[in-house]
Structure 1
């Protein structure tokens, strides 16, 4: 086994913490809420750095876009669906806050499963081990049947097709589907698939 020379630490330089610029200071910490306080106060108390800062920037941009009558397009994958945010997203669609949604292929698959099965998101590790990942018959069959080229020229793409199919088949949980909400509200929900990246395509 090769012998290693110990690292020479004699040239390491340090400097005082007083001179270091930092992103986090006590004055910017979040404040705890009190009983009966509003969500507005809680939101205002969130710190203005990292994820909370990003959230505030997004909220501000959405408000400005709505005030200027500009469209708000939500680009998203499957994770928001898998953590149960569909009701909030659909409510924002109904209120006219979100005017278009662009999903990736996985987003469409999980949303379709939510609408038809009432559950989604299999254990990938176990599925890969057994060779059965992505082999749920109903999902594969129903999505592929739904996206076949339609003679109906009013259908405007995969998202529109899937959303209308969920409404036509009276999917039991369609009220919690972003695709179905888009079809029902006439809000574009586009699906951007890539061959080989999803279980269906």
Structure 2
């Protein structure tokens, strides 16, 4: 009634002829006596799977920095509010990052940390009585900055930076990604999504100013991307929707204006979980013709400092 395979007839092959995807020399190394530095730790990681990808992303950033290529960092709000700003600012000071772009929530968290020393409210508690997102100083300060930016022809990131720069009593200016990027000459752009950010609830919100300054920053991001050609790097840190969508459109503008360039760059999406848009719009589609894309999954408060430290150590 049942057919049964005859295992005595199967063909086997010598293991010496079989290609192996994992080799003994790729295994992790335990701490050695007298060798406990951060470089020792990096060199001890197994040369497999995401540990290998992490090393390749680090090498790509190092090569881009040494070669004068573009290194574009894109941020979601969670990266800012988990305390990663100091290591990002350090990368600006070292001349490694050539452009930082972020969504509106990242800019709001950055502004509040710089000006007031705290951010990230209890959404559920505020939603019960309608006070979620209604902080007076945050909404007024940022919306007035955008209005000034529209009058003066500034982008949204530049508008926020200039507003912070003249604020007489900042709690922590050294922790602002936007302010320090502007002071160090690194383009910082903010890419708003109308209705998705708490400051759009404020009485001073001006759709024209938000649109004008954010669209200028979209054009500025597109203007930065040609530097990626033949060796640049794009790091998407914690933005699941906005920055992957903005990046894809900015990239097609850059290629439209520059005969199909930039090509041959590395992209990496680093987030707590994997999402469709970063995979398609950052990792896969931009590198189909050339270059390489990576996905690294992990908590921002661990992985972003780890990446930054690794780059700095490799640069020496």
Length-normalised TM-score, structure 1: 0.79
Identify the residue that residue 124 of structure 2 maps to in structure 1: 125
Displacement of 1:138 in angstroms is: 1.1
Aligned twin of 2:199: 200
CA distance in 1, matches of 2:166, 2:62: 34
Q: Confirm or deny that 1:167 pairs with 2:165.
A: yes
Q: Please state how far the C-alpha of 1:51 moved relative to its aligned partner.
A: 4.6
* Other-structure match for 1:190: 189
Q: 3-state SS of the aligned residue for 1:147?
A: helix
Q: How far apart, in 1, do the equivalents of 2:103 and 2:133 lie?
A: 16
Q: CA RMSD in A?
A: 2.6
Q: Is the 8 A contact 1:31 1:46 kept in 2?
A: no
2:94 equivalent to 1:75? no
Pairs within 5 Å for 1:1-201? 28-29=27-28, 31-32=30-31, 37-49=36-48, 51-150=50-149, 151-153=151-153, 155=154, 157-170=155-168, 171-201=170-200
Asked whether the equivalents of residues 113 and 171 of structure 2 are also in contact (C-alpha less than 8 Å), the reply is no
Alignment CA distance shift 1:63-1:149 (3 Å): same
1:47-93 deviation digits (Å, cap 9, x = unpaired)? 34455344323211111111221011101111211111111100100
Map Cα deviations across residues 13-54 of structure 1 (whole Å, 9 max, x no partner): xxxxxxxx998x996346346666211010122234455344
Alpha-carbon separation, structure 2, partners of 1:197 and 1:190: 17
Q: Is the 8 A contact 2:161 2:179 kept in 1?
A: yes
CA distance in 2, matches of 1:63, 1:75: 18
Deviation of 1:174 after TM superposition, in Å, equals 1.1
Comparing 59-68 and 30-39, the one that deviates more: 30-39
- The worse-fitting range, judged by mean Cα deviation, of 133-142 and 108-117 is 133-142
1:92/1:34 Cα in 2 relative to 1: closer, same or farther (>3 Å)?
farther
Q: Specify the SS of the correspondent of 2:101.
A: strand
Aligned length: 181
Tell me which moved more, 133-142 or 87-96. 133-142
Cα distance, 1:133–1:54 mapped onto 2, change above 3 Å? farther
Q: Give the SS at the match of 1:197.
A: coil
Determine if contact 2:178/2:188 at 8 Å carries over to the other structure: yes
SS of residue in 2 equivalent to 1:200: helix
Q: Which has the higher helix share?
A: 2
Q: For residue 121 of structure 1, give the secondary structure of its aligned residue in structure 2.
A: coil
Query: Distance between the aligned counterparts of 1:128 and 1:197, measured in 2?
Result: 15
Residue 173 (structure 1) shift = 1.1
Are the counterparts in 2 of residues 93 and 99 from structure 1 also a CA contact under 8 Å? yes
Unaligned runs of 5+ in 2: 1-19, 201-316
5+ residue gaps, structure 1:
1-20
Distance in 1 between the 2:144 and 2:96 partners? 32
Q: CA deviation at 1:124?
A: 2.2
Partners of 1:128 and 1:26 lie apart in 2 by 55
CA contact (8 A) 1:77 1:104 kept: yes
